[in-house]
Structure 1
């Protein structure tokens, strides 16, 4: 089958299977044809084709796409659809109108391609300002100023660019000709899938390894915009997420923790399946012998959310019981001045001589090799990647019990409450002083990570999901014909259609067909044709 991968912000590797998660997916499912549609940053190139069926890119930022402004009549139609979408963002009682406004803009753009020019026009800005300042609009973040309208209009134009992408035809390279769409990451990458389903009935799957909406909420804390703009954009992403979850055939979060977040945003539990992110690191050999001195290794970004300070306070307690212990901190400074703050804390606690701030390691595998015990002290943990990587080293793990940690580590590590240096120190001491227990937990953790994060189970899960979808959704939905009211049927083509010589149209004009044999499409309508073929 033909699968359209919709991705935001990632360029394709020259060869399948060499880098990203979806490269490995396409490499494992070679029986399917993958065509990628990438919403890139500011620069758009031809893309690396390699063994991909095709690579298409669209810039989300930078120079706006060209095009002429629509005429007066069309401009009013665009204005009504745009106003409906904006009102859904600012009017609490009109939230459900978001999808209608979105699809109407996509349909108008499909007809004349004037959506980019309209979104950049003064008419669109006036429409946004009128709806944003209308009575009943939610302005709890503050009344929008003229500068807010200008900034928000530019941001919405960038977010809505995928609606005008030249990808919605039913021919080669068009989403209408795909059997299904696979959205990787959510957010604006889901817009083409929503439009393809609305226009052509193409089903889509959504895979999120880290929720796009949650990342937006975290990212807009430090965004260089006034609060009214931030509130409007977060409302847009929330509405887009809800519409995506409502329309998706299947959602595949990367963890049960993410699954709970998706349910809070309206995801149907019956259409949600957890598929862990596979990593080729499962084939990596376990770390070698432990260091001569008892060493705790901490890894992560140096920022308050990772709570390096908690680790330092716990280590001071460990040193009081085990003077030979050392602490190695791996990670780059994510908040300016935080490393200096941590160094000052270590100096004040009297452990500065036993603490090494080693910066970014050459590789995570090298970082774990220097550990007797690996420690995580974060206040939140959304991604399982670093945890799983540490477990694959065969070293015992101690972590605060937050986010995905319990799901990933399970009974193979020691979990402690966050913000509790005494509990963290006790867990570290328990492992540092018990070699047999460290070895047992380290081996159990490695086996658990290999089982849950291998690439093969991920490939098998998506092979099953793809086949399930095409068996339940109409085949060739964009090419459905047969008169008014006719609906395409699942598996509308018989099995022999796929075995025919399609390159040379081997069934056309053959003697067998002239002698009364059914043509491939006609055979699909004859009762029992598939059974006879089998």
Structure 2
């Protein structure tokens, strides 16, 4: 089957090695044809010569930066665009009209497909005036504050960038069109789901959504520090919230990366019956366990140096560990993610009198080296949103101590020690208990490695999506655009063609263009199969 994989990224090409989840999926399912639809920045275009051989092709759209050129709509068309745009904006700022988001979104997409002038309209003064008028209507949600003229300009520009996928040249049943795909697979959510929503609305193509870390949650966290005024932040978060709800409502299947994310998706309206947890597989499961422990009892910590990781808790706990075990050391691996935070932590270690035993080692060469340098792996974060770092530590065979937040309980389970967050005494007690008991460390380390190998192996992930793909195409018509061989006015019939029809041997009188399912190009349906009644026998 043909699978259209939609994702968003800033890289010039899909990641390779142990980080390329999309590559591992396509290489693990060679029986399917994958085509990449990438939303990226203007400086990251041009990936065709860098694709893995598993990809059939790539299509890109610059999601950020200067808008694409094009002519402006005429007066009549501009009015139709304005009505659709107003319906969408009203759904964002008027609490009583949130149900109109989907209708406004699909109307804009249909208009864009007709004349291709949507980018020019969204960047026009007419769109800005529409946004300003609706944003200042009585009853509009102004919890973020009253919008100023500068807010209207910034908000209109950001909405234009978010809505660019609606005008992408990807819709249709011809070559490269999403209408010719058997299904769409959205990786990451957010704006990457817009083409899938449009393809489902226009062509009936089902889609799957995979999120390793929820896009909406990351937007809420990221916009706290965004360089925009509060009204703009509220407007953009309202857009992402409405887009997420519409995506969850229309998706055939949701595959969150953990049960923790699954609970968040349900709070956003996801149907539990269409949600299946599929853990993010990693090739690290085949990596050998870490070698012998260091001679000096060492606690190792890894992650971004930022307040959310709560290194202060780790330093306070380590001061108590040193009081009970003076030979202990602490090694902190990671890059500074918040300006001045490393200096703050170094000053705190100095005040606690542990600076000589604390090593800020910076960015590690590899995670395997990080865990091998320690006796016990410690995680002190206030929130564990993704399981991958925890799973990598467990795969090393080192015993793990973690704060009981986010996905920690789900990932670690009974194979490690969990302590309450922001409790240095409990964290220090757990670390001391393991540092003083070699047999317990070895037992928990082995159990953690086996648990991580079972949950995060690549093969179960590939098998899960193989089943999901087959299940979806068996439930949806083979000809969503109405070319299934039924009589006029009748719904398409999935098995209306004989088996010989699907042999793409190029000998149907030149009528097979390869642009989607055979028979959708007006080639006469069954007539093409009847031209060569012995095709199946020859192929066998």
Q: Is the 8 A contact 2:190 2:243 kept in 1?
A: yes
Which residue in the other structure is 2:410 paired with?
407
Q: Deviations over 1:308-362 (max 9, x none)?
A: 1111111111111111111111111111221111111111111111111111111
Q: 1:490 Cα deviation (Å)?
A: 3.2
Q: Paired residue for 1:375, among 378, 381, 403?
A: 378
Q: Following the alignment from structure 2 to structure 1, what is the Cα–Cα distance between the partners of residues 223 and 403?
A: 26
Which residue in the other structure is 2:4 paired with?
4
Q: Is the 8 A contact 1:372 1:432 kept in 2?
A: yes
Which residue in the other structure is 1:321 paired with?
324
Q: Is the 8 A contact 1:17 1:25 kept in 2?
A: no
TM-score by length of 1: 0.93
TM-score by length of 2: 0.92
The 3-state SS of whatever aligns with 1:3 is strand
Relative distance call for 1:506 and 1:443 in structure 2 (3 A) is farther
Q: Deviations over 1:345-385 (max 9, x none)?
A: 11111111111111111111101011100000000000111
Q: 1:302 Cα deviation (Å)?
A: 1.2
Say yes or no: does 1:352 pair with 2:355: yes
Q: Is the 8 A contact 2:12 2:44 kept in 1?
A: no
Q: Deviations over 1:62-120 (max 9, x none)?
A: 12111111111111000000000000000000000000000000000000001011001
Say yes or no: does 1:78 pair with 2:81: yes
Point out the more displaced range, 334-343 or 252-261: 334-343
Aligned pairs for 1:59-70 within 5 A: 59-70=62-73
Which residue in the other structure is 2:489 paired with?
485
Q: 1:46 Cα deviation (Å)?
A: 3.1
Q: Is the 8 A contact 1:44 1:57 kept in 2?
A: no
Q: Paired residue for 1:363, among 366, 370, 374?
A: 366
Relative distance call for 1:468 and 1:492 in structure 2 (3 A) is farther
Q: Following the alignment from structure 1 to structure 2, what is the Cα–Cα distance between the partners of residues 44 and 349?
A: 46
Say yes or no: does 1:136 pair with 2:139: yes
Aligned pairs for 1:484-523 within 5 A: 484-498=488-502, 500-505=503-508
Q: Following the alignment from structure 1 to structure 2, what is the Cα–Cα distance between the partners of residues 316 and 308?
A: 12
Which residue in the other structure is 2:520 paired with?
none
List gaps (5 residues or longer) in structure 1: 509-517, 524-533
Which residue in the other structure is 2:36 paired with?
36
The 3-state SS of whatever aligns with 2:73 is coil
Aligned pairs for 1:187-198 within 5 A: 187-198=190-201
Q: Is the 8 A contact 1:472 1:490 kept in 2?
A: no
Q: Following the alignment from structure 2 to structure 1, what is the Cα–Cα distance between the partners of residues 441 and 272?
A: 38
Q: Deviations over 1:179-238 (max 9, x none)?
A: 000000000000000000000000000000010000100010011111000000000000
Say yes or no: does 1:443 pair with 2:446: yes
Which residue in the other structure is 2:434 paired with?
431
Relative distance call for 1:399 and 1:368 in structure 2 (3 A) is same
Q: 1:485 Cα deviation (Å)?
A: 2.8
Q: Paired residue for 1:181, among 176, 181, 184?
A: 184
Q: 1:298 Cα deviation (Å)?
A: 0.8
Q: 1:257 Cα deviation (Å)?
A: 0.4
Which residue in the other structure is 2:27 paired with?
27
Which residue in the other structure is 2:265 paired with?
262
Aligned residues: 515
Say yes or no: does 1:88 pair with 2:91: yes
Q: Is the 8 A contact 2:482 2:491 kept in 1?
A: no
Q: Following the alignment from structure 1 to structure 2, what is the Cα–Cα distance between the partners of residues 168 and 259?
A: 30
Q: Following the alignment from structure 1 to structure 2, what is the Cα–Cα distance between the partners of residues 167 and 18?
A: 30
Which residue in the other structure is 1:306 paired with?
309
The 3-state SS of whatever aligns with 2:481 is helix
Q: Is the 8 A contact 1:298 1:374 kept in 2?
A: yes
Q: Following the alignment from structure 1 to structure 2, what is the Cα–Cα distance between the partners of residues 441 and 348?
A: 34
List gaps (5 residues or longer) in structure 2: 512-525, 532-539
Which residue in the other structure is 2:60 paired with?
57
Q: Paired residue for 2:279, among 247, 261, 276?
A: 276
Which residue in the other structure is 1:224 paired with?
227
Q: Following the alignment from structure 2 to structure 1, what is the Cα–Cα distance between the partners of residues 67 and 106?
A: 21
Q: Paired residue for 1:108, among 94, 107, 111?
A: 111
The 3-state SS of whatever aligns with 2:39 is strand
Q: Paired residue for 1:121, among 115, 121, 124?
A: 124
Q: Following the alignment from structure 1 to structure 2, what is the Cα–Cα distance between the partners of residues 168 and 315?
A: 57
Q: 1:19 Cα deviation (Å)?
A: 4.8
Q: Following the alignment from structure 2 to structure 1, what is the Cα–Cα distance between the partners of residues 232 and 13?
A: 35
Relative distance call for 1:296 and 1:18 in structure 2 (3 A) is closer
Which residue in the other structure is 2:537 paired with?
none
